[in-house]
């Protein structure tokens, strides 16, 4: 697990976009795993800028999203389908038939989840998975005590996660209780995992993920077993790390061929 500490969220998003861009330049038909929420917004804006400047091309890219609310139509303004089209897909040249998002209205959710797993495998697996982290250490919607070998499935959200996501819904609407999410095991099969985290609210989760024991109580801690995970955090998100000076030293002294700049 590589820990990169930068000063600001903007710097983290800029570096994250460079890493995604390098992946696309190396392999134009890359399969990207995509996250939602506030964390990756600036990353997507950076990628849109690189596309507009004709530095990267998404025409051969395939995407799979991490999760979706059960019971929300794709057109619902709070669905992750709507989020992705509004904040990313409408601004790049990715082919619609290469976009995969869980269907929150699937009549048979268990079968839909099996088909989603099958589609990932048929695409050759995910080359680079973009991730955020919840304040309780969840990734995707794999809440604490999720199996570290879990696959795409339905999950029940905790009260904390529903509270955290409430600002994305109208005041008169309830956050759905259930979601479809890639499993921890699904995420771990990605060739590269790229996590971004910002702010003091994520500091404890980052510490537990990086320096704590591997535990289903902190699903993100399973990334310690992943062969190529890059974690980019701002100073505040890194504030609880006991070895942050070492992480800075390692990054500053990387061999030139390993650098992202």
DSSP 86-153: HHTGGGS---GGGEE---TT-SSHHHHHHHHHHHHHHTT--SEEEE---TTS-BTTB-TT--TT--SE
At residue 81, the 3 state secondary structure works out as: helix
Query: How long a stretch of residues is the chain?
Result: 261
Catalytic residue status for 143: yes
Considering 136, 189, 208, 234, which one is annotated as catalytic? 136
Catalytic residue status for 138: yes
Tokens for 180, please give them. 């479809």
* Number of C-beta neighbours around residue 150 at 10 A: 21
Considering 67, 117, 127, 189, which one is annotated as catalytic? 67
Considering 138, 189, 208, 234, which one is annotated as catalytic? 138
Q: What are phi and psi of 189, to 5 degrees?
A: -80, -10
In sequence order, what are the residues at sequence separation of 6 or more whose Cβ sits closer than 8 angstroms to the Cβ of residue 173? 78
Catalytic residue status for 136: yes
Catalytic residue status for 7: no
> 173 near 166, Cβ under 8 Å?
no
At residue 139, the 3 state secondary structure works out as: strand
Considering 143, 189, 208, 234, which one is annotated as catalytic? 143
- Which ranges of the chain does DSSP label H, i.e. alpha helix? 9-26, 41-52, 80-87, 109-122, 159-165, 184-188, 203-211, 244-252
At residue 131, the 3 state secondary structure works out as: strand
Tokens for 243, please give them. 């070895």
| Sheet-wide strand order for 2-6 | 2-6, 229-234, 192-197, 128-131, 31-34, 62-65, 99-100
Beta bridge partners of 229: 193
Query: Could you list the active site residues?
Result: 67, 136, 138, 143
């Amino acid at each position: 697990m590589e820990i990169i500490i930068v000063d600001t969220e903007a710097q983290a998003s800029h570096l994250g976009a460079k890493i995604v861009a390098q992946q696309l330049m190396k392999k134009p038909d890359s399969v990207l795993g995509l996250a939602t929420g506030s964390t990756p917004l600036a990353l997507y804006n950076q990628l849109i800028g690189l596309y507009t400047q004709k530095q990267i091309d998404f025409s051969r890219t395939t995407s799979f999203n991490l999760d979706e609310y059960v019971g929300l139509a794709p057109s619902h303004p709070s669905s992750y389908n709507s989020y992705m089209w509004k904040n990313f897909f409408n601004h790049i040249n990715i082919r619609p038939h290469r976009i995969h998002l869980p269907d929150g209205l699937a009549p048979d959710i268990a079968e839909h989840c099996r088909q989603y797993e099958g589609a990932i495998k048929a695409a050759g697996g995910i080359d680079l998975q973009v991730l955020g982290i919840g304040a309780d250490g969840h990734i995707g919607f794999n809440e604490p005590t999720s199996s570290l070998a879990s696959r795409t499935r339905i999950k029940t959200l905790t009260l904390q996660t529903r509270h955290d996501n409430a600002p994305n819904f109208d005041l008169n609407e309830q956050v759905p209780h259930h979601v479809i999410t890639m499993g921890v095991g699904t995420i771990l099969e990605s060739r590269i995992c790229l996590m971004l985290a910002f702010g003091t609210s994520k500091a404890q989760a980052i510490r537990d993920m990086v320096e704590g024991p591997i535990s289903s109580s902190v699903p993100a801690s399973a990334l310690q077993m992943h062969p190529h995970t890059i974690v980019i955090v701002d100073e505040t998100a890194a504030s609880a790390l006991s070895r942050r000076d070492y992480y800075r030293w390692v990054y500053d002294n990387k061999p030139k061929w390993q650098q992202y700049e």
